[in-house]
Structure 1
Amino acid sequence: MAESHSQVIGEPGSTKRVDEPVRYDDEEVIWQGSPSQLVNLGTYIFWGIITFAAAFGLLLWNSGIGRSYGDALDQVIEYAIAGTLVFAILSCLMAYLSTRYERTVITRNKIKEAKGITSIFRRELFCEISDITDFKSPPAGLLGIFGLSTLVIETHDDDQPIISIRAIPDRDALIKLLLPVWRKAKMDRKGYFAE
């Protein structure tokens, strides 16, 4: 089964009731997770094929095809194949680390998306729960074979008009968890700004 790092902290029907008034300082985490590495399956397959082809080409070249050519061309071919292998490994490593360090945390008031491998390149975006306009459930495609799906959240937020929570194991449970919190936050915000 696919490994996806997600954790439901506040289940519907837990001790914390959803109909309690929303406090704007309430940062209780209700869900957090990161996508499964299966989102990189296409990248791994592509670079695996390229690596296999490059290694096979190097094997053929060294087995005798390159004898009739000069030493200069022999070095160029070997460096090109070695460069391709290094680039393939770095591309797979970059895809792995990018997914590994992508994290979404949902509290009772905010959604925080953090992406980036190091603190220099790390980007954290925040969106208020009450700014959510709609939830979309796109078809899972190949991820559905592994029991994973994506949740797309549309918002009024300028920084995050679309929040995509990719390759999570139970999208419907997350929607059921978010809907009451979202409705309550919207009602409280309307009441707060109406006064």
Structure 2
Amino acid sequence: MARYGIVPRSEPINAVIFRGTPSQLINLPAFIKGAVAILAIGIGFGYASTQWPVSWFIPVLAVLLVLGGIGLAYLQVKFTEFEIDVERITCRKGILNRTVQSVELFRIQDVTSVHPWWQRMFGIGAVVVMTSDSNNPVWRLPGMTDAEQLRNELNRAAIALRDVKGVREVNMGRV
């Protein structure tokens, strides 16, 4: 069975295809920008202190703000969880306040995997799901390992569920 394999019918109807959090590697740009900002603060303070009397408190406050931004990016990914079972995709996210959203698999119209060059080096990518759900027409699952395989399995599961439920897609307007 594939890593994100479709669950055989003998298993419970709510069997999980995938459960996990995005990879922290999606925060790599934020981490690099934060490191460059802290370096710039250090260099700026070093230069400014030779020219003027500058309090040590100012660069410390600036570094703490940068570290707070990096920490927030880390926590946002840490407190995001995706669960895909044979009927729906559920996303739980939030640090202090929790938001839970789900979309039924039979509403999936298209699934795309996106692999930026720097994420491809680490074997991760984003899965973008286009749905017929009017409240959440686009679902983005960032930082997924084996994103292309997950995309294939999600497509198969959506088609299988539409067949089981007897649901057909009808395009109105632009095709």
SS of the residue corresponding to residue 93 of structure 1 reads helix
For the 8 Å contact 1:37–1:99, the answer to whether it is kept is yes
Alignment partner, residue 77 of structure 2: 99
Alignment partner, residue 164 of structure 1: 140
- Counterparts of 1:37 and 1:89, CA distance in 2: 16
* Unaligned ranges ≥5, structure 1: 1-7, 68-73
- Counterparts of 1:179 and 1:93, CA distance in 2: 35
Alignment partner, residue 70 of structure 1: none
Q: What stretches of structure 1 move > 6 A for 4+ residues in a row?
A: none
For the 8 Å contact 1:132–1:182, the answer to whether it is kept is yes
Alignment partner, residue 177 of structure 1: 153
Matches of residues 128-139 of structure 1 in structure 2 within 5 Å? Answer: 128-139=104-115
SS of the residue corresponding to residue 114 of structure 2 reads coil
Aligned counterpart in structure 2 of residue 66 of structure 1, from 36, 52, 57: 52
How many residue pairs get aligned? The number is 166
Output the TM-score relative to the length of structure 1. 0.75
Coordinate RMSD, CA, aligned: 2.4
Answer yes or no: is 1:122 the counterpart of 2:98: yes
Identity of aligned residues (%): 21
Larger helix percent: 1
* Distance 1:176-1:139 versus aligned 2 partners, 3 A rule: closer
Cα shift at 1:66? 2.0
- Counterparts of 2:95 and 2:160, CA distance in 1: 35
The one-character-per-residue Cα deviations of 1:37-68 (angstroms, maximum 9, x if unpaired) are 11111111111111111122223344x3225x
Answer yes or no: is 1:11 the counterpart of 2:2: no
- Counterparts of 1:172 and 1:47, CA distance in 2: 30
The one-character-per-residue Cα deviations of 1:102-134 (angstroms, maximum 9, x if unpaired) are 11100111100111113xx22110100101111
- Counterparts of 1:176 and 1:136, CA distance in 2: 9
For the 8 Å contact 1:98–1:117, the answer to whether it is kept is yes
Structure with more relative contact order (C-alpha pairs < 8 Å, separation 6 or more)? 1
- Counterparts of 2:156 and 2:36, CA distance in 1: 47
For the 8 Å contact 2:20–2:82, the answer to whether it is kept is yes
* Unaligned ranges ≥5, structure 2: 169-175
- Counterparts of 1:27 and 1:153, CA distance in 2: 20
Aligned counterpart in structure 1 of residue 131 of structure 2, from 155, 162, 168: 155
Aligned counterpart in structure 1 of residue 19 of structure 2, from 29, 32, 35: 32
Alignment partner, residue 171 of structure 2: none
Alignment partner, residue 45 of structure 1: 32
